[in-house]
Each structure stands twice: as structure tokens, then as C-alpha cells.
Amino acid sequence: MSELGFSTRAVHAGFEPDPQTGAVNVPIYASSTFAQDGVGGLRGGYEYARTGNPTRTALEANLAALELGRYGRAFASGMAATDCVLRALLRPGDHIVIPDDAYGGTFRLIDKVFTQWGIEHSPAHIADLDAVRAAVRPDTKLIWVETPTNPLLTIGDIAALADVAHTAGALLVVDNTFATPYLQTPLTLGADVVLHSTTKYLGGHSDVIGGALVTDDAEIDQKFAFLQNGAGAVPGPFDAYLTLRGAKTLALRMERHCDNAELIAEFLARHPAISTVIYPGLPEHAGHGVAAKQMRRFGGMLSVRLHGGEEAARRFCAGTKVFTLAESLGGIESLIEHPGAMTHASTAGSQLEVPADLVRISVGIEDAADLLADVEQALAQ
Ligand SMILES: *Cc1c(COP(=O)(O)O)cnc(C)c1O
């Protein structure tokens, strides 16, 4: 399917109309177990739904097709997928390089849990290849990046980071949650594993939690499959169905997210209450050139810093009416939040601590005029 266009894959990959009924959508297979014809005689390859469920299989094939990878695995959450990568690919005594700006939950899991199991980590600024090289040690097994990062939208050069990782005998994992496979496909740039919180753009409607891993490497995929079944952090069939339903319209939604985010970034860049707009689509963004090279467009996420410090940032978040003050991102509705007190509170006091005057915005697909009017009135309060 990889020769087909993105939306054709999004709509069709993973499921053919059901031969028995003609159903165009994969059924929600609400079955924990599957009848066998004689001991070990599996009818469709399924035995127990932790190991595999046809609705989940359809989602996994679809996500792999979108990321242009061979193997996809779906998980109960993005964090469950993160946990699987770390346990599948690291052993006590190993070292991992992480972004100095990363999703708070990823940092918390590595810092609070994996540290206890003998995994050491070093934060590095992923836009600075020399800094990443300097953070690499002989025992480094993984370089973990997000690009754009959450919440500071730093851009890492995926092809160059893959080179750094492979030269060091390490693997490159890219958390592609912010960009989505519509905007960039890290495996085609040399990454070894792509991770998603499908809770965000892939699901796209803020109605389901999920995660996914995609790789081209059969051996790595087998390690993921072993833990997916062995530890069991799998999505149920209804969650898999919802995520697949969302993935089918990803291209349409992303175009609108990008259109709206560009307009809001330009508007805020001229607004006197804003000291900095952080959006990779703006030419003044330090990663603009790399983003233009490796991304189709610049995404629906932007962050701003306010002249009035933390108080002004909190007031802005509380003052919007169309934007909902809430954690998460990537859904059709616009969201606004204060990372320092909300999504990234776990980074307080660490090298990953976020500025107190920072506001993160997930731009939805509403009418641009309403979104612009809303940020304008909220900043006037
Ligand atoms: C939300 C998020 C995660 C975690 O995913 P969950 O589905 O919430 O478990 C990981 N990485 C990034 C970049 C995220 O935004």
C-alpha cells in the first residue's frame, strides 16, 4: 500500500470490506477469546484478545501504512507504548539521551521509574547535534527525541540524529505525536522506531486514549509484540475502532489545524502582550529550515510567552471562551493550557523545567475568525 497516497492509505489500509457481510468498517470484535477447531486449530489466527484482536489488527496495519513502516503495534496509551520501548530495548546499566524539553510524562517515567531499574539518562538540546553527540556515552543504547518537542516546539533534524545514533551503535526513537505521519515520516529519514500517543491527532476527537509503535525492523517488532502480550497494556476493540475512525480523516484535519495555527501564530507575533511566539512555521523560529525540509507543513501546536509573566499567562488561559482550558492536544477543538502548572508540572526543578510565562495552544479546526477573536478578547482582559 505504500505506493498509494496518504489519504488513500488512511481510508483503506488495514481492512477490506468484510467478505461475509460486505461491512465497509472493521467490526468492533467484542470477544476476549476465539473458538478453536481442535486444540491449536485457530480459525483466523486469533486465540485470546490480549495477544490479538481483529479490530486492533486493523488499526495496527493502518498506522504502519501511514508511517510507511512494516510493523505496527497498538497500546492502551502513549505512555504504555513508551514503557514498552524502554523495557524492550534497554537493560540495567544502559544509558539513554532524552530531549531537554519533552512530554512531562515521558520524562517522569524515565526519571522516576526507569532510574530505579538502573537506566541512566542525559537531557540534551536536540536541535544542537554537537550537544546530542556530547551527551552520547559508550553505554548509550537509545536516543529519544520528539520533534517538534512538547511544549517548546524545538525541531530536531531526524536524518542527522539517526546518523548520530547509528554511529554510536544506538537506536533512534522518534515520538511523532506532534507532527503526525501526515506531516513527517521518521522511519523514511532513518529513525528505528516511531512512537505515538494516538490520543492526540491520530484519534483526533479527544474521545479515546491510545498509543502506538511502528518499526521496519522485524526483530524489534518481535520484542514489542512479546511485551504487548506479556505485559498486556493493550487497547480494547472499541478504543481501537475509535482511533482507526479518527486516523481516516487525519489529512483533512491536519490541513485545517495547520491553516488555523499559521493565522494565529501570525496574529500573536504582532500582539503587544506576547513576548515570543514559538511556531516552527515562522521564519524566525530557530528550527524553521529543518522543519521545512522534513515536514510537509508546520503543525497545529504553538506556544507563546507573555510579557506579564506567570500571572498574565494564567489569565490568558482562563480568559478564552472558544479555546477550552484543558490538558491534551490534537483534537478538533482548540485547547489552551499552562504547561508549568499542568502538563509539565513534573519537570519542576529539573533541567526540563518549562518557563512560567509559557502558554501552550492546540489549535483546533473551528472557524479561524472565531479563534482569532477569542485570543484577542482573552488577551485584552
Ligand atoms: C500525550 C503525549 C504522550 C503520552 O500519551 P498518552 O496517550 O497520554 O499516554 C507522549 N508523548 C507526547 C508528545 C504526548 O503529547
**Any residues with CB less than 8 A from the CB of 59 and at least 6 apart, and which?**
14, 72, 74, 212, 235, 240, 241, 243, 244, 247
| Helix, coil or strand: residue 138 | coil
Query: 339 CB under 6 A from ligand 1?
Result: no
Query: Tens digit of pLDDT for each residue in 231-282?
Result: 999 999 999 999 999 999 999 999 999 999 999 999 999 999 999 999 999 9
Query: How many angstroms separate the alpha carbon of residue 233 from the centre of ligand 1?
Result: 15
**Nearest residue CA, atom 1 of ligand 1?**
197
- 102 CA closest ligand 1 atom index: 13
- pLDDT at residue number 152: 95
- pLDDT at residue number 348: 87
Alpha carbons 270 and 220: distance in angstroms, whole number:
47
Nearest to 72 by CA among 82, 80, 62: 62
Alpha carbons 346 and 181: distance in angstroms, whole number:
28
Query: Tens digit of pLDDT for each residue in 87-113?
Result: 999 999 999 999 998 898 999 999 999
Query: How many angstroms separate the alpha carbon of residue 175 from the centre of ligand 1?
Result: 9
Give residue 153's region: left, alpha or beta (phi > 0; psi -120 to 50): left
Report the pLDDT averaged over residues 57-81. Answer: 98
Query: Tens digit of pLDDT for each residue in 162-220?
Result: 999 999 999 999 999 999 999 999 999 999 999 999 999 999 999 999 999 999 999 99
Query: 146 CB under 6 A from ligand 1?
Result: yes
Looking at the chain, the whole-number percentage of residues with pLDDT higher than 90 is 94
**Any residues with CB less than 8 A from the CB of 70 and at least 6 apart, and which?**
64, 215, 216, 218, 221
Report the pLDDT averaged over residues 323-328. Answer: 96
- Quick check: 351 pLDDT over 90? no
103 is a catalytic site residue: yes
pLDDT tier for residue 352 given thresholds of 50, 70 and 90 = confident
- 210 CA closest ligand 1 atom index: 7
Alpha carbons 219 and 166: distance in angstroms, whole number:
17
Query: Tens digit of pLDDT for each residue in 20-32?
Result: 999 999 999 999 9
Question: 40 or 65: whose pLDDT is higher?
Answer: 65
Query: 253 CB under 6 A from ligand 1?
Result: no
- pLDDT at residue number 61: 98
E strand intervals along the chain: 71-75, 95-99, 120-124, 140-146, 171-175, 193-197, 211-215, 274-278, 301-306, 324-325, 335-337, 358-362
200 is a catalytic site residue: yes
Query: How many angstroms separate the alpha carbon of residue 103 from the centre of ligand 1?
Result: 7
Per-position DSSP letters for 283-326, written without gaps between them: TTSTTHHHHHHH-SS--SEEEEEETTHHHHHHHHHHH-SSSEE-
Alpha carbons 79 and 323: distance in angstroms, whole number:
26
Question: What rounded mean pLDDT belongs to the chain?
Answer: 97
Alpha carbons 372 and 363: distance in angstroms, whole number:
11
Query: 200 CB under 6 A from ligand 1?
Result: yes
Alpha carbons 208 and 199: distance in angstroms, whole number:
6
CA distances from 25 to 55, 68, 102 (A): 10, 22, 36
